[in-house]
Every structure is written in C-alpha cells, then in structure tokens.
Amino acid sequence: MSAHLALSPVADLVAATLLPPEQQAAAAATLGIADRSDLARHGCKGPGAAEWLVARGLPIPPAPNSWLPLDDGGRIARLGFTEFLIEGPVALIAPLAAAPRGPGVYPVLRQDAAFVLSGSRLDELLRQSCSVNFRALDLTARPVVLTSMVGVGVTAIPELCAGRPTLRIWCDGTYGHYLWETLLDIAGDLGGGAVVARSID
C-alpha cells in the first residue's frame, strides 16, 4: 500500500470496543468516539510549503494554527507558520504525495491515530482530559489547538457537526491505543461510547 494511504494503528482495538449498532445513535448524541485514522493525509513544512500547496490548487489558512474545509470534504490545517496537514479522500492526497517537492518544501510523515469525539457531554470529557477551555474559542475562526490530552500531545480542531460540539484529534500513532482506551473510559462513564464514524462525522 502506498505511503499516503493511512492505516489505523488502533483498528483491532476499535473493532473490539464498538457498541452494538442499536446503541450507537444514542451514544453518539451523548458522547461518541470514532476512529478516523484510516483517512488519507499528507504533511509538509518549510518556507516554500504554502506556495507549493497553492500551486496544487489548495487554499492556505490565513492565520497560523487555523484550518479551512476543502470542497471534497477534506480539510487543510496550518500548524504554526509553515507546516501543513492535509486530510481528505485519496483522490486529493495521492497526487500531493506523488508530486515533486519544490525548493523549501519538506515532507512530514503523518502516521497518526485520528479520532473524532462528538456529543452533548463533550465538554465534560474535555474538562477531565485537557487544560484548554475549548468553550472560550471562536469556532468561526476555525482554530487549531496544539495541546495535550491525558498526557498525550495532540493536534485538535473543535467544530460543530450537525449542531453537535465536535472535536477532531490527531496524535502520534504509537500513543493511539492509550489515548483511545483512556478517552473511551471517560466517554463510557458519561453515557457514551465507541461508534462508527458515520454516526458522528
């Protein structure tokens, strides 16, 4: 499989912890956690990265630590000033991964564990697992937050999906099992649980 096609480092664990189908809608409304590690993604950085991405038809988030949606359902996040994370369908990511890099453009390996958390009790989970007050953020500015959750460094995007508070997080895949299990334990205590991605994404 090509390097740009993501494999979930927690696939077996997720499969073993999914709620029964008849319980997933209720759990998703309260606090669902879903694995999105299998989405294709590409990372790059450097002084020429923004210009290189523009030449490939991608918009550039105007401010550091912000993101933009892409027409095909993907997203591009600007991490700091010159690093970018692009996630979306393979049809978008494969050409980026295969394109010759211009001067001042360096690849960033993205072997992330990527999760989505959503539901009415999301803020309660965040208060237990992270020091950032996500409620204070202006979601219209599309912020990207670099922080830690239960001791694991994460990149996080808060947003609203179908009117529900939602948080997308990416972390080093080697911490994926620990982060999934810990967040799932909290979600379970709050009346939620593990759901398939289409339930909340």
At residue 201 the predicted structure's pLDDT band, cuts being 50, 70 and 90, is confident
Model confidence at 36: pLDDT above 60: yes
For residues 92 and 155, membership in a common domain is answered with no
Q: How far apart are CA 64 and CA 25, in angstroms?
A: 36
pLDDT digits (tens, 9 = 90+) for 102-125: 899 999 999 899 999 999 999 999
For residues 30 and 124, membership in a common domain is answered with yes
Asked whether the beta carbons of 157 and 180 are under 8 A apart, the reply is no
For residues 193 and 120, membership in a common domain is answered with yes
Residue 182 exposure: Cα atoms within 13 Å on the Cβ side: 13
For residues 71 and 117, membership in a common domain is answered with no
Q: How far apart are CA 171 and CA 154, in angstroms?
A: 5
Q: What is the mean pLDDT of residues 53-69?
A: 97
Q: What pLDDT is attached to residue 6?
A: 56
For residues 52 and 147, membership in a common domain is answered with no
pLDDT digits (tens, 9 = 90+) for 131-168: 999 999 999 999 999 999 999 999 999 999 888 999 99
Find the CATH number of the domain harbouring 55: 3.30.70
Asked whether the beta carbons of 188 and 132 are under 8 A apart, the reply is no
Residue 29 CB partners (closer than 8 Å, separation 6+): 119, 120, 164
Q: What pLDDT is attached to residue 16?
A: 94
Residue 117's domain comprises 2-38+110-199
For residues 50 and 66, membership in a common domain is answered with yes
Q: What pLDDT is attached to residue 23?
A: 96
Domain count along the chain:
2
For residues 126 and 159, membership in a common domain is answered with yes
Q: How far apart are CA 189 and CA 138, in angstroms?
A: 28
Instruction: Name the average pLDDT for the chain.
Output: 93
Asked whether the beta carbons of 181 and 16 are under 8 A apart, the reply is no
